[in-house]
Amino acid sequence: MFSRKFRQKFNFVFPTRRQAWRWLLPILLVFLFLSTLLWLPWQTQRMEANERQEQLIADTLWVEQTIRFQLARDEETLHLIAADITAGDTPEQRVRDRIMALMRNNHELSRIAQFDADGDLVISTDDTPASLSDLPPESLAAAEDARNARSPHYSHPAPPRNMSSPMLLDYHVPLFKGDEYIGDLVASYSLSSILSEMVPWWFAQDNEIAIVDQDDVVLDRRAAGGPGRGVYTHHRPLELDGITLSLRTNSVKGEPKLLPSLLVGSVIALSLGLLWSLYALWRDINRRLAAEGALRQQVAFRTAMENSLMTGLRARDLNGRITYVNPAFCEMVGIPAEKLVGKSPPMPYWAPEAMNEYQQRFSQVLAGRVTPQFETVFQRSNGERFPVLIFESPLVDDTGKQTGWMGSILDISDRKQVEDLNRRQQEKLQASARLATMGEIASTLAHELNQPLAAISSYTTGALNMIDSHASKPGSLDLEILKPALEKAGIQAQRAGHIIRSVHTFVKRREPSREPITVPELIDSVIPLIELQAHQFFVAINTRIDSNLPSVLADRVMLEQVLLNLTRNAIEAMHDVDPARRILRIVAERDAAQPQNVVISVIDNGYGISSEVAERLFSPFFSTKAEGMGMGLNICRTAVEFHGGTLTHAGNPDGGTIFRFSLPGLGDTFVPSAPDSAIINGN
Ligand code: ADP
| Residue 619 beta carbon below 6 angstroms from any ligand 1 atom | no
Residue of 569, 603, 613, 657 with the most ligand 1 atoms within 8 Å of its CB, for mutation: 569
Predicted pLDDT of residue 603: 97
Per the CATH hierarchy, to which homologous superfamily does domain 509-680 belong?
Histidine kinase-like ATPase, C-terminal domain (3.30.565.10)
User: 334: phi > 0 → left, psi -120 to 50 → alpha, else beta; which?
Assistant: left
Which atom of ligand 1 is closest in space to residue 613's alpha carbon? 16
Rounded distance between C-alpha atoms, residue 437 and residue 255, angstroms? 121
The pLDDT assigned to 475 comes to 61
Task: Name 599's bridge partners.
Answer: 589, 662
Q: What's the CA-to-centroid distance between 569 and ligand 1, angstroms? A: 6
User: What burial letters (b/e) apply to 138-150, b meaning 16+ CB within 10 Å?
Assistant: bbbbbbebbbeee
Helix H segments across 88-183?
A: 92-105, 137-149
User: Which residue's CA is the nearest one to ligand 1's atom 8?
Assistant: 630
CB of 315 sitting under 6 A from ligand 1 = no
The pLDDT of residue 672 is 35
Atom of ligand 1 nearest to the CA of 565: 7
What are the 10-residue block averages of pLDDT along the chain, 683 residues in total? 47 57 78 81 84 91 91 92 88 89 89 90 80 89 92 92 87 91 92 89 90 91 87 91 91 73 75 84 90 91 82 88 91 92 89 84 74 83 89 85 88 79 73 69 66 81 81 66 81 78 66 85 86 85 92 88 92 91 95 92 95 90 84 88 92 95 74 33 29
Claim: this prediction has a pTM higher than 0.85 = no
Instruction: Break the chain into its structural domains and give their ranges.
Output: 26-253, 307-411, 421-493, 509-680
Our answer on whether the CB atom of 657 is closer than 6 Å to any ligand 1 atom is yes
Note whether 650 and 669 are within 8 A (CB). no
Rounded distance, CA 479 to CA 466, Å? 10
The reply to whether 307-411 and 509-680 are identical in fold is no
Residue 475: half-sphere exposure toward Cβ, Cα within 13 Å: 0
SS3 call for 402:
strand
Contact 238, 247 (CB under 8 A): yes
Going by alpha carbons, the residue nearest to atom 12 of ligand 1 is 617
How many angstroms does the Cα of residue 536 sit away from the middle of ligand 1? 18
Q: For residue 659, give the ligand 1 atom closest to its CA.
A: 23
Can you give the pLDDT at residue 428? 74
CATH superfamily of 307-411: PAS domain (3.30.450.20)
- The answer, yes or no, to whether any atom of ligand 1 lies below 6 A from the CB of 569, is yes
Q: Is domain 26-253 in CATH 3.30.450.20, yes or no?
A: yes
| Ligand 1 atom closest to the CA of 624, numbered from 1 | 14
Q: How far is the CA of 623 from the centre of ligand 1 (A)?
A: 6
Phi/psi at 462 (nearest 5 deg)? -55, -45
> 108-124 b/e with 16+ CB inside 10 Å = b?
bbbbbbbbeeebebbbb
Atom of ligand 1 nearest to the CA of 606: 24
Count helices and strands (H / E) in the chain. 17, 22
- Name the residue of 430, 576, 629, 633 whose CB sits within 8 Å of the most ligand 1 atoms, as the mutation to test its pocket: 633
Distance 609 CA to ligand 1 centre (A): 8
Closest protein CA for atom 7 of ligand 1: 632
577 lines ligand 1 (CB under 6 A): no
By alpha-carbon position, which residue is closest to atom 19 of ligand 1?
569
SS3 of 33-53: the string is HHHHHHHHHHHHHHHHHHHHH
Task: From 623, 640, 660, give the residue whose CB has the most ligand 1 atoms within 8 Å, as the site to mutate.
Answer: 623
Question: Separation of 337 CA from ligand 1 center, angstroms?
Answer: 58
Closest ligand 1 atom number to CA of residue 630: 8
Residue closest via CA to ligand 1's atom 26 equals 609
Ligand 1 neighbour 629 (Cβ under 6 A)? yes
CA of 433 to the centre of ligand 1 (A): 14
Q: Atom 20 in ligand 1: which residue has the minimum CA distance?
A: 569
pLDDT for the residue 258: 60
Query: How many angstroms does the Cα of residue 217 sit away from the middle of ligand 1?
Result: 135
Question: What pLDDT score was predicted for residue 496?
Answer: 79
Q: Which of 669, 440, 468, 682 shows the shortest CA–CA distance to 568?
A: 440
Ligand 1: atom nearest CA of 607 is: 25
